[in-house]
Chain A
Amino acid sequence: MTDLKDAGLKDAGNPAAHPDVRGGAVISAKDLDLTFQTNDGPVHALKGVSLDIEKGEFVSFIGPSGCGKTTFLRCMADLEQPTGGSITVNGVTAAEARAARAYGYVFQAAGLYPWRTIGGNISLPLEIMGYSRTEQRDRVARVLELVELAGFENKFPWQLSGGMQQRASIARALGFDADILLMDEPFGALDEIVRDHLNEQLLKLWSRTEKTIAFVTHSIPEAVYLSTKIVVMSPRPGRITDVIDSPLPKERPLDIRESPEFLEIAHRVREGLRAGHGDD
């Protein structure tokens, strides 16, 4: 296993991608509003959302469909434009942060290109960002090892299982070592056992790379198991109803999910979700 930092993967020439945050928030949203105009009138996807995410945190967003958790993540990624309020990523606007390749984004589907091998898929963003060929090769080898897919470089996506494909898509988001990882229900389409395994791997990867991770999920156990901070959201309008700081230690074996602390947090998340649903 390689440590990204030890491996010298940092590119120091990119200040916006690696800002001197020093205790400041990596992602900071203030009174964020986003209203979609539809034929049935305006839909308030986000209303008055304020949140700070500190460097190195693992933040989960949980809530029912339509609560705006994915929309919020897409605002961080500059894939949606807020209609009110402000959001900064690494101290600059989301658009500037995107231009500086400040984050890697993992979608719900792996979205690998069928005409590229696994290695070719992982080097795709590197090609786009103009890394040299040798650099691309080194980085592909390193991130493949990081997600335990070494040796699959020359396989095509259809030759891999769904879980392996999703790991490859995580590797692809890690290749250009952005400090922030935005993950939109990356394991939502996988079965429980594969999901447990990938959760465990993701935690290891997080502690090894010290990235800041924002993670959208439907699953309460997944959110509690992974996060240092759990953000509970509710719909109509999409808003934050509770922010829970997890007291769980950084080392988390899978059986921590049977511990009373774990169950207590899970209970609080469930209460939060139920309260948000009270008006239905």
Chain B
Amino acid sequence: MRSIIPVLTVVAVIMAIWYAAAVPMNAPWAYDVAKRADIELTFSDLVAATWSQDKPKLPAPHQVGVELWETTVQKNITSKRSLVYHAWITLSATLMGFGMGTVLGIMLAVGIVYNRVMDMSVMPWVIASQTIPILALAPMIIVVLNAVGISGLLPKAVISMYLSFFPVVVGMVKGLRSPEVMQLDQMHTWHASASQTFWKLRLPASMPYLFTSLKVAMAASLVGAIVGELPTGAISGLGARLLAGSYYGQTIQIWSALVMAAALAAVMVALIGLIQRIVLKRMGMAT
């Protein structure tokens, strides 16, 4: 209960600023309409007008709320107009890319930890890969994959993977190297094989690092999937909703897609946090 009060306070402050900002942002249009109709606007009329436009520059929170309600609860989820449907399209690419990125990240980390050549050669490239703007790279990935006949879910997942493997590599390299020299010597005195040292010492020791990385990777994956939907002219997915919204000036639709994306990320990260707590608790490492 105590932790919820600060959160609610922040939410309330954001709402207040949002409502307040909507008035000056949407005022010119409201004045225009009033002038054409030859009406004098009182302040309360102005506020009411700025909070209820069809295509406001900044929609008021309740407008986004209504839009969210109408496109989720009141629509069949298989409908192309349902935000749940679009969210699922994006989420499936996110999860696939997240899975691929996690596997790739762990494999690279194992290679880097166990192989000196990989340690020297791969890490700089891993870091360099993240300095390339994903917006520039995404269209190329999609075009190239399309040229070899791959389209649909996979190209988006590849972009997700491209963003999500990085935190996993960095976290897992650190985690796999976290056992102390003494613990490795100990394994040596028992004449443990390299694979035994990996499965019984390095991997369990890296678990706290892995989960922290996974949370970052999940958020990055979602960004990757949305970015992957932008340059293709995709007709479904949260990215497509954002793009279509901006073409037709449907600001309310853009904002509701943004809120949906944020909620999706929050739920996914919370889910990983839950798994983390369960796993670490079972491992006796709960903090």
Contacts and interface: CB of A to CB of B under 8 A. Distances in A.
A125 B190 contact: yes
Given A107-B182, A124-B200, A128-B196, A117 B189 contact: no
Given A109-B182, A113-B204, A124-B200, A98 B189 contact: yes
Contacts of B188: 78-79, 98
A111 B182 contact: yes
Interface string B187-226: 1111110001000110011010000000000000000000
Given A127-B200, A128-B192, A128-B200, A114 B285 contact: yes
Interface string A85-109: 0000000000000110101110111
Nearest to A127: B200
Interface string B247-287: 00000000000000000000000000000000000011100
A257 B201 CA distance: 42
A79 B191 contact: no
Contacts of A101: 190-191
Interface in B149-206: 180, 182-183, 185-192, 196, 200-201, 204-205
A155 B42 CA distance: 72
Contacts of B187: 128
Nearest to A182: B189
B284 A115 contact: yes
A26 interface: no
A109 B185 CA distance: 12
A128 B190 contact: yes
Contacts of A77: 189
A152 interface: no
- A contact face: mostly helix, strand, loop, or mixed: loop
A27 to B, nearest CB: 15
A129 B185 contact: no
A99 B182 contact: no
Given A111-B180, A111-B182, A128-B200, A105 B284 contact: no
B186 A105 contact: yes
Contacts of A113: 183, 201, 204-205
A102 B57 CA distance: 78
Interface string A123-151: 01101110000000000000000000000
A107 B181 CA distance: 11
A78 B188 CA distance: 9
Contacts of B189: 77, 79, 98, 103-105
Given A98-B189, A111-B186, A129-B190, A117 B200 contact: no
Contact of B186 (A99, A107, A115, A156): A107
B198 to A, nearest CB: 12
Contacts of B185: 79, 105, 107
Contacts of B191: 98-99, 101, 128-129
A78 B190 CA distance: 11
Contacts of A107: 182, 185-186
B183 A111 contact: yes
Interface in A235-277: none
Nearest to A108: B182
A117 B190 CA distance: 19
A10 interface: no
A115 B192 contact: no
Contacts of A129: 190-191
Contacts of B190: 101, 124-125, 128-129
A140 B185 CA distance: 22
A107 B185 CA distance: 9
A130 to B, nearest CB: 10
B72 to A, nearest CB: 41
A129 B187 CA distance: 11
Contacts of A117: 284
Given A98-B189, A105-B189, A156 B284 contact: yes
A116 interface: yes
A107 B207 CA distance: 25
A116 B180 contact: no
Given A115-B205, A125-B190, 20 more contacts: A98-B189, A99-B191, A101-B191, A105-B185, A105-B186, A108-B182, A109-B182, A111-B180, A111-B186, A113-B201, A113-B204, A113-B205, A114-B284, A114-B285, A115-B204, A115-B285, A116-B284, A124-B190, A128-B191, A156-B284
17 contacts: A79-B188, A98-B191, A99-B191, A101-B191, A104-B189, A105-B186, A108-B182, A109-B182, A111-B182, A111-B183, A113-B201, A114-B285, A115-B204, A115-B285, A117-B284, A128-B191, A128-B200
When A and B form their complex, which 5 residue pairs have the shortest distance between CB atoms, in order from nearest?
A115-B283, A156-B284, A105-B189, A125-B190, A128-B192
